[in-house]
Amino acid sequence: MLKNDVLSILKSNKGKYTSGQDLCYKLNVSRTAVWKCINELKSDGYIIDSKHKSGYILMEEPDIINYTEISPNLKTDFIGRNYLYFDTISSTNDYAKEIASDSPDGTTIVAEEQTSGRGRMGRLWVSYKKQGIWMSIILKPDIAPNDAVKLTQVAAVSLVDAIKETANLTSYIKWPNDIIVNGKKVCGILTEMNGELDKINFIVVGIGVNVNVDSFPVDLQDKATSLSIEASKKIDRKLLTASILNNFEKYYRTFLDEGFLNIRNLCKEYSLTLEKDVKAIMNNKEYVGRAIDIDNDGNLIVMFKNGEKKAITSGEVSIRGLTDYI
């Protein structure tokens, strides 16, 4: 895309002017085409100064997470290499499912804002514009359909590591799909599968991260937080987006090549749920027990008060602490 090529050249010459003639020569286009690209970049939020006989200089970059901005830090082979960026979208997961059949493995949809974001069990997910990371990854693994649920936990360990790398915060996994910092939720994961009895057509892993959200509705203030609130500083969304994708590809490959054991061990290490008394909410009934393990299928093992142990799958239950969300 010509606009991205112009931006790449301006970035490579940051701090000095690039003449319009040089841009025309390097890109083999007309001055009019360059001028149009400059105006488009300005409309996107890039601050570009122009000076007669000197050319163009990039003064300031906007806080956006398009491919041009995250790609310098992207180390993946295929995750995120087909990167579809939107300013606003209803739901990245819904769009991913629409295009999945004709999209390559690892296609990633990223939006600055979702107008109809949702979490597990159809819960509303508020996606603040340019204050978070709202993304979905399309996967086409050759695995059994009942193994698809494990990709939620692949994503979870990826997020814990990415948050540590970019925000220097320690986070934990509230089984099966929430990431917690200092007792409050900063991130949720929604994994959806399209398949048949013995075959997966595609899987969509949706990830929503509260990055630089500075306030929450009253009813969420005791449950939700953002990385910037917890770190007391603004977090670089570009670095974090790339880090999430880098870590996801690393752990996804580990899962495909070596099985679930290493992922399971990390889930247990990062778990905020294990060795706690929990309420398992099943069919509108509450059962109190103690979370004692995560098994080889990614299920949570709960021992109930009557001594019965049950392997709980993420699709059938909500897990809560006895007195609060955690």
Structural domains in the chain plus CATH codes: 2-60 (1.10.10.10), 67-270 (3.30.930.10), 276-321 (2.30.30.100)
Confidence of residue 321 (pLDDT cuts 50, 70, 90): low
Residues in the annotated binding site for biotin: 91-93, 114, 118-120, 185
Residues in the annotated binding site: 91-93, 114, 118-120, 185
Q: Compute the distance between CA of residue 185 and CA of residue 180 in angstroms, rounded to an integer.
A: 4
DSSP string, 105-159: TT-EEEES-BSS-B-GGG-B--B-TTTEEEEEEEE---S-GGGTTHHHHHHHHHH
Cβ–Cβ < 8 Å for 178, 171: no
Closest CA to 118 of 182, 14, 207: 207
pTM of the model: 0.89
Over residues 26-49, the pLDDT tens digits come to 999 999 999 999 999 998 889 999
Q: Compute the distance between CA of residue 226 and CA of residue 215 in angstroms, rounded to an integer.
A: 9
Over residues 255-306, the pLDDT tens digits come to 999 999 999 999 999 999 999 888 877 777 777 889 999 999 999 999 988 8
Closest CA to 168 of 240, 63, 70: 240
Q: Compute the distance between CA of residue 296 and CA of residue 271 in angstroms, rounded to an integer.
A: 15
Tell me the pLDDT of the chain averaged across its residues.
Answer: 91
CB-neighbour burial class of residue 301 (10 A; exposed 0-12, middle 13-18, buried 19+): middle
Indicate the DSSP class of residue 177: T
Confidence of residue 123 (pLDDT cuts 50, 70, 90): low
List residues bridging with 277 in a β-sheet: 290
Q: What pLDDT does residue 118 have?
A: 62
Who's near 45: CB < 8 A, 6+ residues apart? 61, 62, 64
Q: What pLDDT does residue 14 have?
A: 85
List residues bridging with 276 in a β-sheet: 291
Cβ–Cβ < 8 Å for 94, 27: no
φ, ψ of residue 36 to 5 degrees: the values are -65, -40
46-50 contacts at long range (C-beta below 8 A, 24 or more positions apart): 46/7, 48/10
Over residues 4-19, the pLDDT tens digits come to 899 989 999 988 999 9
Q: Compute the distance between CA of residue 268 and CA of residue 248 in angstroms, rounded to an integer.
A: 18
Q: What pLDDT does residue 281 have?
A: 74
- Residue with the bigger pLDDT between 317 and 183: it is 183
